[in-house]
Structure 1
Amino acid sequence: MDFVYNANPSRVIFGAGSRAKVAEELDRLGIERAIVISTPDQSGLAAEIAKAIGGRAGIMYPGAVQHTPVEVTESALMAVSSVRADGCLAIGGGSTTGLSKAIAYRTDLPQLVIPTTFAGSEMTPILGQTEAGRKTTVSDPKILPETVIYDPELTVTMPSFISGPSGMNAIAHSVEALYAKDRNPVISMMAEASIRALGGALPTLMDDPSNLHAHSEALYGAWLAGVCLGAVGMAIHHKICHTLGGTFNLNHADIHALMIPYTSAYNRDAAPEAMASIARALGTVDGPTGIYQLTQRAASKRSLAEMGLTEADLDTAADIALQNPYYNPRPVTREGVRHMLQAAFEGRAP
């Protein structure tokens, strides 16, 4: 057995009500004037937390949007400069975390992130950003948030049409970690545990969105998925989702939730150990089939056609996906990718 394992240095506080420790954690990081980042939808929660921390809230910036457009980052940097902010307090999902990361990448300011979805990106040193309609990724130690507070009480307000895709997005991180080029036993154990936790919690959340125990389990699974995403490389799933999301401005979580059954099936024969791990975690005979069945419960969109794409768009996406390809256990060919996209376009079982 040969492997390399690098642990990313993040501080994690997990538990219901843990948002009460925000001021204490800001002090630990030496942040006296934070830029408080959120999306417009989360601005109320951000204002509530800002009120609780008093003068440590230097300026509010409720302008985060999905895919982290560079022009939004530039606007946020002006807000940072206007009050000489010395740190970022990000409250929300992947869009908010992405903007905080983009600021930190350019300024090296410390970050405290409070996730309100199951995105998991708060545990990674990876930034995805868009410019001129193309999404690119960059990895740098400066991007990794120093501290993350996981409070499942803050995810309870998510409606099921958000929590379901958000959880499937986290599962996608763990699935790809199982067949990553640089996978290792520690990450593989985390990935399987993540899929098991999310696979058990999401059906409950679809039926009972206010179930705090299920939210806690899902958030735990999302944390593990984020650790996986930050520790090893990703493959065809993330490449195709970055392509589709960045090119056609599709919802980040929805496209991940829709595509993960098809991308995992693409690697079904090339990664048998990973498929066995997924099947164990979900209690099914076949991993991709189990993911597809879970998607039918949890995803908000069940086909690329439903998301508004055309078959001509599939050709465009297949061409872009072959540019600067990621490692993948099965060779990535245009024919294979186009066939996969067609199945997702129709929404049929992979």
Structure 2
Amino acid sequence: MNTPLRAFAHPAGVHNATPPRVVFGPGSVAGLPEEIDRLGPCGARRALVITTPGRAQLGDRLASAIGARCAGLLPEAVSQVPIELARRGREKATSVGADCLVAVGGGAATGLAKGIALESGMPIIAVPTTYCGSEMTGFCGITSQAVKRMHQSLAMRPSTVIYDAELSVSLPPQVSAASALNALAHCVDAVALPSLSPLLAPAAVEGARIVTRTLPGLLAQPDNLTLRNEMLYGAYLSGAALTGGFGLQHAVAHTLGGSFGVDHGVAHAVVLPYVTAHLVHRAPGPLGRVAAALGVDTDQLPGHLWDLVTGAELPVRLDDLGLGPDALERAVRITLTAEERPEGTPQAHPDTHDPQRLGDPAEVTESAVRAVLTATAAGTRPGSH
């Protein structure tokens, strides 16, 4: 048996670093007061509860549940984390004397908490109600001057994550589908990266299997707690895989979201089949493991994901998003220059993720980005000729 010698080195810092405490199960949010007390060597005393305007009622509920531990409520989170909002959030946290943050909701709430923690260092308790997976990482996309740029810091990695499926039952089916496909995109993007630890690579494969298996049933029975719980578990695994880093999928989707206002989950869903088609020829081994978990051949995987997206009644072409040829060219340019930081933008850690430095088999080059966006513009099912 001539097995080649294994050799690898993983990036340090945020890469492959998951939150130190995870509490999973329906009803688990009832333990939020005790989780605040657990923070730090002496516990925390004053939590700023962060949510979106649409989740303000849930934020009020949790604020009441933690009683005197609540320093205030900030129901202003929006998608893509505008830098101005993160700055206002830090000022709010300071003014109310908060010493920790509780983010309840989807990626917008978690992202705003991260934007506040990036410079304040306040610990975060994340209570996700969607499937975006951001709560598992110390990465955050912050938008400045209409460009979304990735930042990384262990200060942004939540200290505790509470997964309570009862909080996600009311999530509308279409929002659930987009969020689930966002989770699936993490698995596809990360599984081929050499920066992903082999300890977490199985999470990407299993996360992809659970998300794809659960989504059709969840759309048919959106109030089914068992299915909601299973999807949340798939999102947890997908978020763990996301800690391995970002590749072509996220580079393109973040441009559509940060610069063109496309919903975060929809941005991932619309490009996922075409990024997968680009990846299967460059990383057939890792993508083959995902395909096997889904019960399809490797070359059938892109078309299978296209079917999943269309079956969820989500867009598969740029025109469905109102983006024409001019937008395509602008998106290519922005994607390739997104790591350039204008004056006044918080500087990322010096080891900030660069797929090309990390040996990504599908580098974020002009030809790759243009090929994916051109395929997205056409909207044709991959593998159908």
Counterpart of 1:269 in structure 2 is: 281
**In the TM superposition, what are the counterparts of 1:251-262 in structure 2 within 5 Å?**
251-262=263-274
Equivalent of 2:131, from 111, 118, 122?
118
| Matches of 1:70 and 1:333, distance apart in 2 | 27
| Matches of 1:7 and 1:61, distance apart in 2 | 28
| Matches of 2:328 and 2:247, distance apart in 1 | 19
Partner secondary structure for residue 170 of structure 2? coil
Partner secondary structure for residue 91 of structure 1? strand
Letter aligned with residue 267 of structure 2: I
The 8 Å contact of residues 52 and 108 in structure 2, kept in 1 or not, is answered as: yes
Letter aligned with residue 374 of structure 2: Q
Partner secondary structure for residue 206 of structure 2? helix
Counterpart of 2:355 in structure 1 is: 326
The 8 Å contact of residues 179 and 329 in structure 1, kept in 2 or not, is answered as: yes
User: Are residues 1:137 and 2:150 paired?
Assistant: yes
TM-score normalised per structure 1: 0.96
Partner secondary structure for residue 321 of structure 2? coil
Equivalent of 2:198, from 185, 203, 215?
185
Per-residue CA deviation, residues 262-306 of structure 1 (Å, 9 max, x unaligned), is: 111111211001221121121122222221121122353332111
How far apart are residue 4 of structure 1 and its match? 4.5
Per-residue CA deviation, residues 4-35 of structure 1 (Å, 9 max, x unaligned), is: 56543420000000010000101111221111
User: Are residues 1:214 and 2:219 paired?
Assistant: no
Q: Tell me the C-alpha RMSD between the 2 structures.
A: 1.5
The 8 Å contact of residues 257 and 299 in structure 1, kept in 2 or not, is answered as: no
**In the TM superposition, what are the counterparts of 1:34-53 in structure 2 within 5 Å?**
34-53=47-66
C-alpha distance 206-9 of structure 1, shift in aligned 2 (>3 A): closer
Where in structure 2 are there 5+ consecutive unaligned residues? 1-5, 11-15, 340-353
Per-residue CA deviation, residues 138-181 of structure 1 (Å, 9 max, x unaligned), is: 11111100000000111111111100010000111111121013
Equivalent of 2:320, from 280, 302, 306?
306
C-alpha distance 87-67 of structure 1, shift in aligned 2 (>3 A): same
Q: % of aligned pairs identical? A: 38
| Matches of 2:167 and 2:363, distance apart in 1 | 41
Higher fraction of helix: 1
Equivalent of 1:234, from 239, 246, 250?
246
Letter aligned with residue 268 of structure 2: H
TM-score normalised per structure 2: 0.87
User: Are residues 1:12 and 2:41 paired?
Assistant: no
How far apart are residue 338 of structure 1 and its match? 2.0
Letter aligned with residue 355 of structure 2: Y
Letter aligned with residue 16 of structure 1: P
The 8 Å contact of residues 148 and 259 in structure 2, kept in 1 or not, is answered as: yes
| Matches of 2:160 and 2:328, distance apart in 1 | 39
Counterpart of 2:94 in structure 1 is: 81
C-alpha distance 299-176 of structure 1, shift in aligned 2 (>3 A): farther
- How many pairs align? 349
C-alpha distance 13-297 of structure 1, shift in aligned 2 (>3 A): same
Equivalent of 1:223, from 236, 239, 242?
236
Per-residue CA deviation, residues 26-76 of structure 1 (Å, 9 max, x unaligned), is: 111122111110000000111111111111111110000000001111211
Per-residue CA deviation, residues 166-203 of structure 1 (Å, 9 max, x unaligned), is: 00001111111210132332222111000011011111
Letter aligned with residue 329 of structure 1: P
C-alpha distance 144-333 of structure 1, shift in aligned 2 (>3 A): closer
The 8 Å contact of residues 131 and 231 in structure 2, kept in 1 or not, is answered as: yes
| Matches of 1:89 and 1:243, distance apart in 2 | 28
| Matches of 1:9 and 1:41, distance apart in 2 | 26
Equivalent of 2:37, from 27, 48, 56?
27
Counterpart of 1:349 in structure 2 is: 381
Letter aligned with residue 275 of structure 2: T
